[in-house]
Amino acid sequence: MAEKEESGEAGEDKTELQIIKELVDELYTFRDCYFETHGVEEAVRKDGDVKQKMEQTLKKLEEKEDGLKHKAEFLLQKGRCLNVAADFSADAEECLSQAVKLDPRLVEAWNILGDQYWKKGDLIASKNCFTGALQREKNKVSLRNLSMLLRQLPAASDDEHGKHVLESVDLARDAVQLDLSDGTSWCILGNAYLSMFFLCGQNPQFSQQALSAYAKSAADRIASSTPDLHFNRANLFHYEELFGCALEGYSRAAALDPNWKEPPEKEKQLLEHLDKVTELTRNKGKVKTRRLRTMLSSLNTSALGPCSSPQFSSPSGRVGSLEPRPLSSLAQGHNAGVAAMGKVVFSLASQGHVAFTFGMVDSEETCMAVMVYNTANSWGVLIGDSVVIPEPNVKRHLIEHKDKSYDFKSIRVDSPLLLFVNGKKQNVQSQIPTSISYQGH
């Protein structure tokens, strides 16, 4: 008889725990799906509303605490409730530490405790929590958290950092495989591929894999309202010269988190850069007609330098001399077997250091912008320099954003080492691999 009574009490206790868990689930739904019940114009209130909802939930939990036998699971839910906020909570750390001492099998408690250590800045303790959780059960939260953490751990060498990034990609892939519908895991895989892209010589395959992962994340109802996703994807769009998509992403990130200063600043910088590039290209760098003609009078095939040799090896691997072609005759995309040649009429060091941009005018007085990536800070070209671009890659940009519109062509050059300036190849010190930061993890 006593056994039955005890079993009945445990059942009631379980029901109470279920109610407590549902209260905390409701809090997380409120946070994660905030924009399903509020307009984006209310984004500035989100953090305050979530905090208020957390305090209300906490009060309800504490009312149910007395008499509960499943103390560890209660502490897990209380710690989870406190963890909903972005900042470190000493109370959450205390609850979760007690929960894992009482029941070390609570994988979720280990994961949230790892989150708290991370917020506190103790990355090693955080890593130990996620690793410990994985030893108990393979789960997507520990996998993706470890993926994020590995990319933030200090590394003693480039090799060690490289190993961290490679491992982080594998962990993020494993997390996605456990739940293909989880947009947060897809976002973290996108960030891992983004790191891989810049680590492995900017292999376009990794850029495309990052964009594909971000697209799957953006299709998820919860992940799509995360400002980090839109900001990180916009940074990659910017690098890939998908300027309209980049502007839209910065704008969306800014709308979702009005207190975050970086997205609107990036949007403003990119718009200002596009304004300058289009204006300076249109008026040929404001160089006076007489001076421009004097500059162009000295432009001749001697500027081709090594490109005129039958033994010249193009970036594409083609061997043979290149034929100089006017800018107006270049097709969009890769122009095999030809060279663009002109005089520099303006230069702009890009804010945000994405590309060094200059304008060149050819013998027909056509002006086009040239965007050079992976340049050292000390590298540049001067007005009046002769520049030759082997097998130029031409892009046309048609951009509509808010009240702005742009329509211009440019040539993308992935390294200054691919250019010839005044007949000379650029030295290796002119190139430094670009990296772009991403927000969050």
pLDDT at 424 > cutoff 60: yes
Residue type, 422: N
Contact assessment for residue 394 and residue 410, using Cβ atoms and an 8 Å cutoff: yes
Output the pLDDT for position 66: 76
Phi, psi angle pair for 404, to nearest 5°? -110, 150
Q: Give the pLDDT band (50/70/90) at residue 3.
A: very low
Output the pLDDT for position 354: 81
* Average pLDDT value for residue range 350-359: 80
Q: Give the pLDDT band (50/70/90) at residue 2.
A: very low
> 298 by DSSP, 3-state: which?
coil
Which pTM was predicted? 0.88
Contact assessment for residue 226 and residue 187, using Cβ atoms and an 8 Å cutoff: yes
Q: Which domains does the chain have, with CATH numbers?
A: 20-273 (1.25.40.10), 284-430 (2.40.50.550)
Residue type, 31: R
Nearest to 238 by CA among 78, 373, 384: 373
- pLDDT tens sequence across 241-276: 999 999 999 999 999 999 999 999 999 999 999 999
> 6 by DSSP, 3-state: which?
helix
- pLDDT tens sequence across 39-55: 999 999 999 999 999 99
Q: Give the pLDDT band (50/70/90) at residue 350.
A: low
Strand partners, 1: none
Residue type, 380: G
* Average pLDDT value for residue range 364-391: 95
Vertex 85 angle, CA 49 and 441, to 5°: 125
Task: Give the whole-angstrom CA distance, residue 26 versus residue 125.
Answer: 29
Q: What percent of the chain has pLDDT over 70?
A: 94
pLDDT at 299 > cutoff 90: yes
Contact assessment for residue 342 and residue 365, using Cβ atoms and an 8 Å cutoff: no
- pLDDT tens sequence across 171-191: 999 999 999 999 999 999 999
pLDDT at 11 > cutoff 60: no
pLDDT at 208 > cutoff 80: yes
57 φψ region: left (φ > 0), alpha (ψ -120 to 50), beta (else): alpha
Least confident of 92-106, 176-190, 197-211, 233-247: 197-211
Contact assessment for residue 395 and residue 436, using Cβ atoms and an 8 Å cutoff: no
pLDDT at 428 > cutoff 90: no
pLDDT at 7 > cutoff 50: no
Query: Which helix (H) or strand (E) segment is 372 a member of?
Result: strand 367-372
Q: Give the pLDDT band (50/70/90) at residue 103.
A: very high
- pLDDT tens sequence across 301-324: 888 989 999 999 998 899 999 999
Output the pLDDT for position 158: 85
Output the pLDDT for position 6: 42
pLDDT at 425 > cutoff 50: yes
Q: Give the pLDDT band (50/70/90) at residue 352.
A: low
pLDDT at 441 > cutoff 50: no
The mean pLDDT of the chain is 92
pLDDT at 196 > cutoff 70: yes
pLDDT at 235 > cutoff 50: yes
- pLDDT tens sequence across 158-169: 889 999 999 999
- pLDDT tens sequence across 327-348: 999 999 999 999 999 999 999 9
Output the pLDDT for position 130: 98
pLDDT at 439 > cutoff 70: no
Q: Give the pLDDT band (50/70/90) at residue 64.
A: confident
